[in-house]
Amino acid sequence: MYFLNNLQKDIGKALTETDMTFPELFEEYETYHAEVETGRLLRAELIQDWIEPGSTVLDVGVGDGFISDYLIKKREAKVTGVDVSNIACEKARKRGITTEIKDINYGLGLDSNNIYDYILLLEVLEHTMYPSRVLLDATHHTRKGVIVTIPNSAYIKWRIQLLKGYHPRQSFMHLHFWSIKDFELFCTTLDIQMIAFRTFLPRLTLKFRNLLAWQQCWLLSPAKRKT
């Protein structure tokens, strides 16, 4: 039901809207995190079953800490968060999450002994200057997997906007755009194994996920370590 309601709403809006303003028109991330709540329950529920109870987790782009807090409560995860924004880190700290302010545009910058069971990159890669560096870094610092969520830029709503002559309106803060097929190709090019995929679609419609899914969620394999 959620899928049908969301699809109808998005298609209807894309077909009828005439005011194509830019969403989230911020110049820097302190203002962004002061005004935007980044945590989403749907996204937390989408990824929770991939995380084994008691796991160590690095939440990159922790934002307001909502999802980290959810995983601590639901999966007894031991979570550390990083974010480029001091305001975001402060919001997460108020939830009891240990955080560090860090710019990950050029990579995660982790020491070789910083290994986590999972690294989360939830709505993060599209904001970074060098997403391949960030993603490859993450695969080298996990034991069980990297979890990525990004918008699906081939979603029907954004296709309609493009047909009307506008670049798809996701967020003014996004630097990169992937369809589901794009991201599969991106990971193949980087020699990253894709373990599993999830989105907000009924099983019978997954064949058309590149058209109908607004969200893509991936569990990626850690890089093989030399023994």
Average pLDDT, 10 consecutive residues per value, the chain (227 residues): 79 86 84 87 95 98 97 98 97 97 95 96 97 97 98 96 90 93 98 97 93 97 79
Q: Can you give the pLDDT at residue 75?
A: 97
d(C-alpha 190, C-alpha 201), whole Å:
27
Among candidates 45, 47, 35, 64, which has minimal Cα distance to 172?
35
**Is residue 198 within 8 Å of residue 172, measured between CB atoms?**
no
Q: Can you give the pLDDT at residue 227?
A: 53
Q: Can you give the pLDDT at residue 186?
A: 98
Question: pTM score, two decimals?
Answer: 0.94
For residue 59, how far is the Cα from the chain centroid? 10
Helix, coil or strand: residue 147? strand
Q: Can you give the pLDDT at residue 116?
A: 98
Helix, coil or strand: residue 107? coil
